[in-house]
Each structure stands twice: as C-alpha cells, then as structure tokens.
Structure 1
Amino acid sequence: MMQKWLNMHKLVGPPVLVSMIGGPASLKFENMTDEEVKSLVRERLTTLFGPDAESREIVKLLRSSWKSTVYSGLGNSYPKVGNDISMWNTLSEPLCPYIYFAGEHTIFKGIGTLHGAYNSGIRAAEQIMSELCEQRARRRERRRQEEEGRGREGRKERKKKKKIKLKE
C-alpha cells in the first residue's frame, strides 16, 4: 500500500505529496478512517525520509473513493499491447465548436497518471484560449471560398473555350 509517491510542489506551489494505491489495497484504504490513514502515511514517510518525517504535521488529507463510487468502478486507462499513438491524438482533438477533452486517457505521455490528467487539462485550456476551433473554422471557410473561386475561374475558362470553338 502507498508504493508510488509524487511530489506535486513544483506543479501546485505548496508542499503536496500524492500517493497512489491500486488493487485490493485500495478497498482496504477506502474503509480506513482519516486518522488511520494519517498514521499509515507518517509510518511510510518515516521509512522513506527518516525520523524527522514523523514529527511533521499532515495539514490536509484528501482521498478518493474510486472503488465505492458507483460509476468509476476503480477504473483508469492503460495502453494495450499493439495500441497506436494516433488513438491518443484522436482523443485529444476537440469536437468543435464547444467540446474539449481532458483526462489521463486523452494524453499519451502520462496515460493513467495524475500528471497526465493535469497536463491534458493544460492542453485543453490552451486549445480553448488559442481559439483552435475558431481558427479551424476560418481555414475551412477560406478553403471553401478558394475552391468556389477556382470553380468560377474554371467556368469562365470553359466559356472562353466554347466561344473560340464557335468562332472557328
């Protein structure tokens, strides 16, 4: 239990540690009280960082309840052998004009991780702020107008050739 630790300080500012638990241990973890969890965290951190960690205060404790949350079923994504990276490119594309996607399942670098979810949120925000969908709509409109213009030019050229043939 609590085998993976992430130091989130550089991402969020204050000193924040994240621990991930999977498998049967996660159900046991969900059934523990906050005091039991704090005690376990102190024990693990003391093992990792020595006796100084034991005296440090745990200011705030947040934890998920994925196993008991009805619609999550303790799920997260993972790539299967043979998956193509283009799958994640597809999942990261917005459905313009109003739907943008974020989550650890939409980003190849960091799939199934907290930092992947975070980075995908940043990516989606950048897509929104850069007006990605609006830019694409403008490009499509320009192409349509160009094609329409070429069509008009082609019709003019055909009319000109017809006139030349009629004169002959």
Structure 2
Amino acid sequence: MEFFAPGAIVLQCGADSLSGDRLGCFNLSIKGHADCVEFVKNYNVPLLVLGGGGYTLRNVPRCWTYETSVLLDHDVKDALPYNDYFEYFGPDYRLHTPVSNMANLNSDEYLERTKIRIFEILKDVEPVPGAQIQTGGTENINPVGMEIVKNDDSAEPNKRPANDKKEHPAEFAP
C-alpha cells in the first residue's frame, strides 16, 4: 500500500475460501474472511467491494452479510432473524458457522519465504501514478502480440468479417 499508494481499491470477496466450501481448499471462518476486509478497509482508501465465488450456497450470504456489517461498522446478531428463507439456514440458524479441523499445512517458514518472494517481485513493479483511459480500437490492447483484425465500420455491412459470437440454441428460448 505504501509503495503503490492507490487512490482507490477494488476488493473481490469470493467466499470460496470459507471452511467447507465445495470447491475451495481453504479453511477461513466467516469472521476470518471479514478480518481481511477490515484490514483493507483500515487503510482509509476509497473501497469498492465486489462479490465472487462461493459454492456452499448457505455460507455465501452469511459471509457477505457479515462483511457488509463490518464495512458499515454495524454489529449484527449471530442468531439469524426469521425471514422467508429461514429454513434454508438450518439446522443452526446462525450467521457464523463452525470451521473444520483441517490441518494448517502452511509453516511459518513457508509463509515467510512466500512473503519475501512477493516483496521481491513487487520491487520490480513500477507504480503507476495514474492510468490513462484510451478509447478507440483494440490495437492499443495487445499484450502478447496477437494478430488483431480491426472492425472497419466503413466497409459494406455484408462484406465485414462475421462476428465470432457463438450462441447456445436455448439462449433466447422463452
């Protein structure tokens, strides 16, 4: 943060790092996940928080509810209030869910080596004082030197290259 000094932060809060997620392999509690959000919030930089993955559907709204309360500095009760979806959150009907007893395979040495390596990489990245927005064709966006075919709007419509968009047969079905 000190090196780049961003004017704003976009934070994606995918809930797939929660304990028990069907696809994630992490073991964060909802509180631990929100602690990460609070850590970034405490830099007092304008913050846009986005949702993301999360494949245990009962835990994603729990996580986002708690993180919203952290962002707004508003305490919420652990006992869920009765609502139209109350039965969906059984059998405990609580905001916070228990974490598993998954072993933490990250040793202190491994974490320290990883942190050092990340800082080494970041030293080689130059901070950008401001990013310019460029409008126009896609020829400005070509990081790997791919051949880019420009859309020529002045060409006759029937002679323009066909759009490569593929449609699923049921995409526009009623």
Q: Compare relative contact order (CA 8 Å, sep 6+) and give the higher one, 1 or 2.
A: 2
Bigger radius of gyration among the two: 1
The TM-score bracket by the shorter chain reads: under 0.3
Q: TM-score, structure 2 length as denominator?
A: 0.21
The structure richer in helix per residue is 1
